């Protein structure tokens, strides 16, 4: 969930349409960081698209954002609540107070995409990302200030967080952890920078197809849904958040979900994430997943504690 856009020096910023698309796909706050005079400047806590755009334009008047590294982050809330202080990026620091600041100048900044299950946030206002940076990543940085140059240490970071990170240094260089896709020389942590192409039913349950409609996220009536119900937001529970949980496919394979691909809703229905569109669809006839089970081998039950909002195909009512 969320998206990182990492722009190397010498490359133009994402255009206004792409920024707008990322915002409406990830509307719970945004921020950016850029290298300037040997330091990393972090500006975040923008809870509207207009605020984000205005701040980016102001920064462009004092710094050459084309010829330096810039990292943007657009958030979907999972832990810590939807509040300005929990938006990204963050300084690489062990000081929680510093991580909460909305403007900060530091030597290295970091943005995260995903959910980190190896840490337990210290309080309800601290996100998993903040806790990971403060309690683990900052220790690595303190012990080895150039860890980002060491392939083995970066692999260790990936194992620890199980998701994606982008680091920006004061010299404008960018170092990433996890898989990013590249478009026009900009690195994106997933495909929610693309205008959404809704899926429509085609001879269900035999398959789906993508229409040629190029409906952008900006066409939605609000940040939380589409006027024509192509996409709605539901609170789903990710199977991967429950230790020891797994699902069984129609081929009889037992799979431990490590990539947030399978979800349950409050009625026990299975939803599958399309990694290209980052939109979930219901497997109501068990065409892919036969069942989802807990560590005890019994059918896994929905638990609201683990639930968070996921973009889902609309038009399904209370399936």
What is the full DSSP assignment across 13-36? PPPHHHHHHHHHHS-S-EEEEEEE
Confidence grade of residue 205 (pLDDT, cut at 50, 70, 90): very low
CATH 3.60.20.10 positions along the chain are 3-188
Q: Percentage of the chain with pLDDT > 70? A: 87
In degrees rounded to 5, what are phi and psi of residue 97? -60, -40
Q: Is the pLDDT of residue 199 over 80?
A: no
Q: Does 209 score more than 80 pLDDT?
A: no
Confidence class for position 318, pLDDT limits 50, 70, 90: low
- Section 95-113 average pLDDT: 96
Q: Return d(Cα 144, Cα 141) in angstroms, integer.
A: 5
pLDDT in tens, 61-102: 999 999 999 999 999 877 778 899 999 999 999 999 999 999
Ranges 134-143, 189-198, 299-308, most confident: 134-143
CB 181 within 8 A of CB 187: yes
Name beta bridge partners: 111.
166
- For residue 195, what are the contacts with CB-CB under 8 A and spacing of at least 6? 17, 21, 214, 215, 216, 217
Distances from the Cα of 195 to the Cα of 135, 192, 272, angstroms: 37, 7, 20
Per residue in 267-284, pLDDT tens?
A: 889 999 987 778 899 998
Residue written as token pair 């990543």: 137
Residue with tokens 């330096």: 68
> According to the model, what pLDDT value does residue 254 have?
86
Q: How would you label 288-317 residue by residue, b for 16+ Cβ within 10 Å and e otherwise?
A: ebbebbbeeeeebebeeebbbbbbbbbebe
Pick the CATH number of 3-188 from 2.60.40.10, 1.20.1250.20, 3.40.50.300, 3.60.20.10: 3.60.20.10
Residue 54 in 3-state DSSP?
helix
What would the pLDDT profile of 214-237 be if each residue is shown by its tens digit?
333 333 333 333 333 578 888 899
- What whole-number distance in Å separates Cα of residue 119 and Cα of residue 161? 9
E strand or H helix at 167: strand 164-169
Whether 190 and 278 have beta carbons less than 8 Å apart is answered as yes
Reduced to 3 states, what is the DSSP secondary structure of residue 264? strand
Q: Report the Cα 17 to chain-centroid distance in Å.
A: 19
As given in the structure block, the two tokens for residue 280 are 């979930």
């Amino acid at each position: 969930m969320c998206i990182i856009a990492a722009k190397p020096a010498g490359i133009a910023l994402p255009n206004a349409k792409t920024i707008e698309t990322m915002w409406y796909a990830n509307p719970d706050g945004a921020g950016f960081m850029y290298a300037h005079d040997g330091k990393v400047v972090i500006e975040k806590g923008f809870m509207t698209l207009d605020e984000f755009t205005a701040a980016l334009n102001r920064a462009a008047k004092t710094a050459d954002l084309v010829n330096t590294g810039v990292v943007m982050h657009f958030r979907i809330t999972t832990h810590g609540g939807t509040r300005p202080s929990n938006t990204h990026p963050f300084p690489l620091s062990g000081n929680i107070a510093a991580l909460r600041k909305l403007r900060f100048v530091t030597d290295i900044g970091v943005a995260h995409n995903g959910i980190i299950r190896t840490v337990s946030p210290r309080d309800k206002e601290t996100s998993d990302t903040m806790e990971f940076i403060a309690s683990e990543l900052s220790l690595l940085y303190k012990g080895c200030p150039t860890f980002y140059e060491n392939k083995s240490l970066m692999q260790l970071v990936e194992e620890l967080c199980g998701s994606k990170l982008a680091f920006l240094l004061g010299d404008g260089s960018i170092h990433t952890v996890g898989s990013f896709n590249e478009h026009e020389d900009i690195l994106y942590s997933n495909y929610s920078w693309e205008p959404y192409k809704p899926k429509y039913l085609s001879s269900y349950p035999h398959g789906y197809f993508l229409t040629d409609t190029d409906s952008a996220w900006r066409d939605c009536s609000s940040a939380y849904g589409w006027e024509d119900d192509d996409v709605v937001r539901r609170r789903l529970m990710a199977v991967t958040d429950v230790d020891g949980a797994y699902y069984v496919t129609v081929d009889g394979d037992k799979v431990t979900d490590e990539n947030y691909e399978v979800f349950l809703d409050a009625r026990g229905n299975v939803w599958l994430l399309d990694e290209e569109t980052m939109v979930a669809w219901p497997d109501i006839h068990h065409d892919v997943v036969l069942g989802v089970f807990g560590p005890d081998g019994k059918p896994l039950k929905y638990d609201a504690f683990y639930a968070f909002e996921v973009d889902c195909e609309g038009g399904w009512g209370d399936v």
